[in-house]
Structure formats: C-alpha cells, structure tokens
Amino acid sequence: MIFGRFRKRKAEPEIEEVLPPEQEAEQIAKEIKADSAAEKEQVDIKDKKQRIDYIQRLYEGIQEAKNQNEQIKKEYAEVTSHLKDIQLMDQALDEDKVVVLQTASAIDQLMKERDYLKKRRYKFNDAQRQAMENFETIAADDVKKLKNFEDYQIKVKNDLHQLESEKQLLKSDKRDIINKQGTLRVVSKVLAGILLVFALLMLTIRLAFEVDVTVPVIATAAFAFLVLLVIMWEARANRTDMVITERKCNRAISLLNRVKIKYVNNTRTIDYMCMKYRVRNATELEFVYDQYQRAKREWARKRESVYMLNEKKDILVAELKKMGVKDAEIWCTQVQAIIEPKEMVEVRHDLNTRRQKLRSQIDYNTGIMQDFIGELERIRDIREEYAKDVEEVLAKSKEMNPEK
C-alpha cells in the first residue's frame, strides 16, 4: 500500500518467565475469566451468526467442564470413603480396637520378618513403594494414563503458545491499522493546508498581476482529487481489515480460553497423579512400577510365612468389616497407621490433601459451568428471539450427542 512505509516495526517478543506447571495452571485459570469477559464484550450479540457461534461455544464449554467433573468425582468418592473408614475405626468399641491392634501388630511383625529377607536394594523409596502397594491394581493403567496426559500436555501447550502468539499478532495488526488511519488523517490535513495556501497564492497572483491561473488551478485540483481518491480507498481498506481482524481476534480468544481450560485440567490431573505415586513424571512412574514388579516377584520366592500373614490379614479384614469399614483390605498394607497414631495422622493428612486437590478441581470446573450457564441465561433474557436461539442450539447439540 502507498502508506505502508509509515507502518511501525513490530516489537520483538518478550522472553516469558517459565513457571512450574502448577503455578502456570493457576495463573492461566485466573486469566480465563478476564479473557471470557473480553470475549463477551467483543461478541456482537445482535449478529445472528456470531450469537449462534457464541452460544455453541458456551454449551461446549459447559459439557467439557461437566465431563471433567464426572471423572474427578469418582476419585473424590474413593478418597472420601477412605476418610470415613478412618472415622469408623476411631469410633469403634475399645475391645474391638484391641483385637485390631493386636492383629495389626502381628501382621507388622510378620511383614518385618519378610522384609528382612529382602536383601536386594531397589531403586524406589518407601513412599513410592507404599503408593504402589496402595494402588497396585490400577498402577499399570495409571502409567499409561500419565503418559497420555503428558503427551497431551505437550500438544495443548503448543496450541496454547500458538494461539497466544496469534492473539498478540492480531492485536498488533489492529494497532497497525489504527496507526495507518491516523497517518491518513495527518496526510489529509497536510494536503488541505497545502491546497489552501496554493489557493491563496493563486488568488494573489491573479489579483496582483492579472495572470491567467486557470491551468495551474485545474492541474492542482486534479492532483488533489487523485490524492483524495487514494486516501478514501486506503481508509475503506483499513475499515475492512479492522472488521476482519476483530472477528479473527474474537475467535482466537474463544479458542484460547477453551485450550486454557484443557491445560489447567490436564496440568492438575498430572500433578495429582504424580503426587499420588510420589514421582515427578510418567518416565519415573514407569521405572518405579517396573522396579516394584520385579521386587514383588523376588519377594514372592523368599516369602516363608505367607500362610500366617494371610491368616492375620483375613482376621484384620474381618474385624474391620465388623466395624463397618468399607475398604478394609487396604489397611493390611497400612498396619503402621493402626499401631502408631502419628502414622494415622499422616494417612489422614494425605487423604485430606488429595481430596482438597480434587475439590479444588471440581470447584474450578463448577465455576466454569456456572459462568457459562449464567451467560446463556443472560442471553435468554435479552430477547425472546435470543432465547429461541439458545434452545435451538441446545436441542441440536443433544441430538448430535444424546449421551450428554
């Protein structure tokens, strides 16, 4: 374009500070509300196409948060069940507690004797071993899940950076268009001033020297007309570019918000699973799991008191079930918590920490759903036509996804 030379050089992108995944997820979670508000302000509700697209995005966001909560609540129910079991054990009769304590002490002694035979050292710590024993039945699946979550995390993070860059680029384009419009205004004012001065000069020459200035005036008028035509053409092109850029920016913000929600949920899921197994990543979890499986096979060959140990465990499970404990079997691997009150406090603290993380994630997704539902209700209340659009989008979505 003619006025392209007035375009400013774009600033070089700043180097972002790298935050730990959990802190980054928290920061992004705070940004989502601001971006959602920005999207709400920029969407033209009166435009039917934009309105339908916006309603569809809100519905999809609600469904995604709902699906996340359904998965999280299953794990939350298990953790809550373990905490209720501890409460039942605390409230049991003294004579029942004595039997459980004696049985737990016997199991602990047998397990120490068994462990004495395990001379080989394995490359995992006590906390990791305890986690593997607690979640042995699902550890193999969790290894695969954590790998998939980490692979998905890379993809989501790449999408996040790409969309963020696209959003910043579009904002930069908007600033450039505004600057170009300003340049056009300056050029228009300068041209008007020059024409005014020239007109005064021609008038002075005509009156003072009685010279025919028709040709210069016509030539100048023709030149001014051409320049004015170019300015109007550029201004029209800038307005068109601004409309297109605004639409692209709104879509980029919408997509960015959805990706941010996925990133926050995925990051918290990875953090929870790593905390659950006391590992840093899927590679370490897989290594620890393999080491544990190898150790388990060797322990099985060296176990001499298996019959007595199993017998004591059966007694412990039976006594705990008499108390009403639901997940009685898990306490066979946590007898120290029954024997030592401090250990029981640690177990309770660990369960509360896990439940708090899950509760936080549930609250986050619930907040997302409430915000989006509130926005749908706001749109419903504006006009009856908008309410029909909402119902139409919901009906179509339910037809396409009846399970939802």
User: Any idea where the domains of the chain sit in the sequence?
Assistant: 138-299
Angstrom distance (rounded) from CA 88 to CA 44: 57
Q: Tell me: the pLDDT tens digits for 329-367?
A: 999 989 999 999 999 999 999 999 999 999 999 999 999
Of 152-156, 284-288, 368-372, the least confident: 368-372
pLDDT tier, 283 (very low <50, low <70, confident <90, very high otherwise)? very high
Angstrom distance (rounded) from CA 155 to CA 398: 29
Give the three-class secondary structure for 324.
coil
Angstrom distance (rounded) from CA 204 to CA 74: 91
Asked if pLDDT for residue 14 goes beyond 50, the answer is no
As a whole number, mean pLDDT of residues 323-334 equals 90
Q: Which two tokens stand for residue 71?
A: 């998965």
Asked if pLDDT for residue 12 goes beyond 60, the answer is no
As a whole number, mean pLDDT of residues 290-297 equals 89
pLDDT tier, 40 (very low <50, low <70, confident <90, very high otherwise)? low
Q: Tell me: the pLDDT tens digits for 176-200?
A: 878 877 787 788 788 888 878 877 8
The per-residue pLDDT for 36 is 56
pLDDT tier, 7 (very low <50, low <70, confident <90, very high otherwise)? very low
Global model pTM greater than 0.75: no
- Cβ proximity of 29 and 364 under 8 Å: yes
Percent of the chain clearing pLDDT 90 (strictly above):
32
Angstrom distance (rounded) from CA 354 to CA 359: 9
Q: Tell me: the pLDDT tens digits for 105-155?
A: 999 998 888 777 766 778 889 899 999 999 999 999 999 999 999 999 999
7 phi, psi to nearest 5 deg: -70, 130
Give the number of other Cβ atoms within 10 Å of residue 233's Cβ.
Answer: 12
The per-residue pLDDT for 80 is 92
pLDDT tier, 31 (very low <50, low <70, confident <90, very high otherwise)? low
- Cβ proximity of 110 and 253 under 8 Å: no
- Cβ proximity of 45 and 378 under 8 Å: no
What is the average pLDDT score of the chain? 82
